[in-house]
Structure 1
């Protein structure tokens, strides 16, 4: 009989949850929208010269995905975001025996009005195994701390990932279109 009363009281919300203490059970955390910039999802490098075709291709790389998570930060005044991008790179005929492709990329936090609030640059080094022309990998996780509170919510932010590209690289990607 006593077990039923305790169970009934717990179901009625009269007994605090064991893990939640006085705060009750943890609620899901809203996360900012992550995304890969479509114009910056591809990085192609050719051997220097006037011709850019398959015979001068050094490597062709793509950002293939994003994994991540977020959790409340200190005193619920910030949001701690962890983001891990994935890459694939294919070595071209002009890549020779290159064992590593260096892929410059960045992550940017964008606020309301498309204002860039934070930007961090990285270089991912993907190694080709002996005799292989394709390599895949994921970057080390990037950790971001975003302020939240009365003025800012998690949904006010967007997190964008892209390769570091020259204006010429962007023009090539736009001509080629999404893959």
Structure 2
């Protein structure tokens, strides 16, 4: 089966939890988007905000990795996440995250990415929560998130993604 590439849209605070736990979760725990993914597929998180619902705007790619295996699994979030129908039981995929990745703003890449180039309303498609990327887009984002040692980028110093423990 051919390798595919995915972009999940999640606030940064949730991304950091997923990176720390070695998993990806999208669309409020939906199973269907994760079931489309296969082992070794590329996966990138884009975070429009730092936190939900009214966190500071971020607009950065915040994590990159590869789907680790075939399993889509369900977890319980415990009593703190109980809703009217019982426990919140989100679906997840294991991801081998690149822990050396650097959060990278999307704005400098808008003219180079297939999913944003020549699209004034490029952000609208991200409302789906998950989109498939071209290999070109995945590799470009991955390279931007992995600067060479000592490299600085125009307008900002490199910064490692830090995970709350």
| TM-score (normalised: structure 2) | 0.22
The structure carrying a bigger strand percent of its residues is 1
TM-score scaled by structure 1?
A: 0.21
Structure label with greater radius of gyration: 1
